[in-house]
Amino acid sequence: MIELRAIYILWLREMKKLSRAKERIFGSLAMPLMFLAFLGMGFKSTAIPGLEHNISYISFLVPGVIGLNILFGSMFSGISVLWDREFGFLKEIMVAPVSRTSIALGRVAGGMTMVIIQGTLLLLLSFIFHFSMGPDFSALRMLVGIASMYAFMVLMSITFVSLGLSFASNMRDAQGFDLIINFVMFPLFFVSGALAPISNLPGWLRFFCYLNPLTYGVDGIRASLTQYSVMPLYLDLFVCVLVAFGMLSLASYFFERSDSV
Amino acid sequence: MDRVIKVENLTKQFKNTSAVDNISFAVDWGECFGLLGPNGAGKTTTVNMLSTLLKPTSGRALIAGYDVGTQKNRVRSSIGMVFQEPALDSKLTGRENLEFHAMMYGIPPRSYKKSISELLSLVELSEKADTLVQNYSGGMKRRLEIARGLIQKPKVLFLDEPTLGLDSQTRRRIWDYVKGLLSEKNISIILTTHYMEEADFLCDRIAIIDSGRIIALGTPKELKDSQGGDVLTLEVESASETFTKALSAMAGIRSIKEHQECQKCLAVTLERAETKIPEVLRIAQDFSVKVLSVNVHKISLEDVFLNYTGRTIKNTEEREKVW
């Protein structure tokens, strides 16, 4: 059972807190922006193996960096349930007569909103770095592309907030947090084709790329914003929808099962 | 439905230890029921099971007729919680914390706006309502939480160590709020505490808990009476037998013994010792017995605990700390 009012108030709580700590939005944009600045500028005139000539490296990189931001922002948002547990507020949430799925969805909605705001800012800022959507893009094609990018953002944030929640439900405190950053988040990011085309990677590594949901998300955003993609858009979309629902169910299951005290 | 809470053979095991071991009790409508015992006795675990936060290992509990294992959301709608440790979002204001709560419980804005401002004035926080909770004192947070627990008009309010860590003045005020709630609202309260005087002052009935088991249950008066009564120690220059006989004949005197440690003393067990002192002294004068000193030991729940477990609540807690 899903209670919309509960999802709304949980979302509203996140937004109120976000509006009181706006620096959070910019703080977490710093890393993606540095990737854009240093990688984008650094490899500007280098020929990237596997990259076709009709796309510049910066245009290739921007969707990857948007993906990076979604991955980190969403995971952090999911794991932040641990802080609620630490400060006791989770008990207040858990004794309310509301289904655990709604509570998980409220958290997803909050994380998603933050990630979408950041993604939009990131896309706007990337034009400073000479990001281009392609020479033969009509205005209509651009609008469709951006709408399609938002669809991927939504699906990816559902996936990764859920993944963060699943981890948080199975942890007692925030001590394993570094492990998750180093052994889950960075590997997911590096084997996603966010920084370089996966077609160049050795076969065994490419295998992991194809197992990684972030690969399809990044590829989907890339297909939406530029004309370059490894897989067809419909395949990216299909995988992302599937994974988003799967992860959400998993997160609800873990969340329901976990002890709230 | 005769009882608002029915607990039958409730047990919670963590790994190999039983935090709560096969306890049963029932609470009447409108009653304040106390769970009294040292830290680590299993009080909070019991409360967590009754409020659906922890799954019992075995046994059953009904709250307002709903089973805590199978009708969780019904149970959750019927109860209000004030947790042992603050469970507030410190980055929200007091009012926002209450509004969050009201929405989670599905109360429409039109009715919660009004009840929130009423409750805020009940706990004297109206002026601080729009301040972030991180700027509240411990007592203010506690009062806000009590107000929050009442928004959904619960049938049962759980107060888990409501005055832990508060100064005596604030404690007194919290007690007054709780007394007020019991007399004005149609509500039952489950109160856990390790403060004797708190349980004695607030509760209609008390279950004394130790190592996950209920070792005694009754009204504060029953529990204390089971220990015999107050002890009045009379230090006299020389006691005559006629004097002792006259004393024994007084109403309310249960027994008179020679004191074990002080030779010139008489240990008189009796009811409501403080009201009997004048008469005892008058009898002493009649028999020309010179009284050197009078000492009253009022029987407390601590004595009850001591009698059942062989140690005091305070000692038990200190022992826990060492471990």
Q: What's the CA gap between B42 and B48, in Å, rounded?
A: 10
| Interval A62-80 mean pLDDT | 94
pLDDT for the residue numbered B2: 77
Q: Which amino acid is at A132?
A: S
The DSSP 8-state label assigned to residue B296 in this structure reads E
pLDDT at residue A22 above 60?
A: yes
Q: Is B13 helix (H, G, I), strand (E, B) or coil?
A: strand
Which chain B residue has its CA at the smallest distance from A87's CA?
Answer: B87
pLDDT at residue A141 above 70?
A: yes
The DSSP 8-state label assigned to residue A35 in this structure reads I
**Using one digit for the tens of pLDDT, what is the confidence trace for B197-215?**
899 999 999 999 999 999 9
**Using one digit for the tens of pLDDT, what is the confidence trace for A9-21?**
999 999 999 999 8
Q: Do A260 and B53 touch (CB under 8 A)?
A: yes
A-B interface: how many C-beta pairs under 8 angstroms? 74
Chain A hits for B76, CB-CB cut-off 8 Å, are 95-97
Instruction: Say if A38 is an interface residue toward chain B (CB within 8 Å).
Output: no
Q: Do B106 and A5 touch (CB under 8 A)?
A: yes
Q: What's the CA gap between A189 and A187, in Å, rounded?
A: 5
pLDDT at residue B323 above 70?
A: no
- Topology of domain B5-224, per CATH? Rossmann fold (3.40.50)
What residue spans define the domains of chain B? 5-224, 228-298
Q: How many angstroms separate the Cα of B301 from the Cα of each of A79, B46, B192, B219, B307? A: 45, 21, 14, 11, 10
pLDDT band, residue B170 (cuts 50/70/90): confident
Residues 6+ apart with CB under 8 A from A152: A217, A220, A221, A224, A236, A237, A240
**Using one digit for the tens of pLDDT, what is the confidence trace for A154-175?**
999 999 999 999 999 988 777 8
Instruction: Say if A94 is an interface residue toward chain B (CB within 8 Å).
Output: yes
Q: What's the CA gap between A189 and A166, in Å, rounded?
A: 18
pLDDT for the residue numbered B249: 83
Q: Do A92 and B87 touch (CB under 8 A)?
A: yes
**Residue ranges of the alpha helices (H) in B26-135?**
43-50, 72-78, 94-104, 109-122
pLDDT for the residue numbered A97: 94
Nearest to B52 among A9, A90, A95 (CB): A95
| Interval B12-38 mean pLDDT | 92
With contact defined as beta carbons under 8 Å apart, do B154 and B127 qualify? no
> ipTM of this model?
0.88
Backbone angles phi, psi at B31, to 5 degrees: -90, 150
Tokens 């500028």 identify what position?
Answer: A41
> In whole numbers, what is the pLDDT of chain A averaged over residues?
89
pLDDT band, residue A69 (cuts 50/70/90): very high
A52 or A139, which is more confident: A139
Q: What's the CA gap between B138 and B166, in Å, rounded?
A: 7
Q: How many CB atoms lie within 10 A of CB B228?
A: 15
For B228-298, CATH gives: 3.30.70.100
**Using one digit for the tens of pLDDT, what is the confidence trace for A167-212?**
999 887 778 888 888 899 999 999 998 888 888 888 898 899 999 9
For β-strands B188-193 and B32-36, DSSP reports them as parallel
For β-strands B188-193 and B156-160, DSSP reports them as parallel
pLDDT at residue B300 above 80?
A: yes
What residue spans define the domains of chain A? 4-42+54-257
**Using one digit for the tens of pLDDT, what is the confidence trace for B119-144?**
999 888 999 999 999 999 988 999 99
pLDDT band, residue B322 (cuts 50/70/90): low
Which chain A residue has its CA at the smallest distance from B84's CA?
Answer: A88
pLDDT for the residue numbered A90: 92
pLDDT band, residue A255 (cuts 50/70/90): confident
A161 or A2, which is more confident: A161
Chain A hits for B73, CB-CB cut-off 8 Å, are 97-99
pLDDT at residue B321 above 60?
A: no
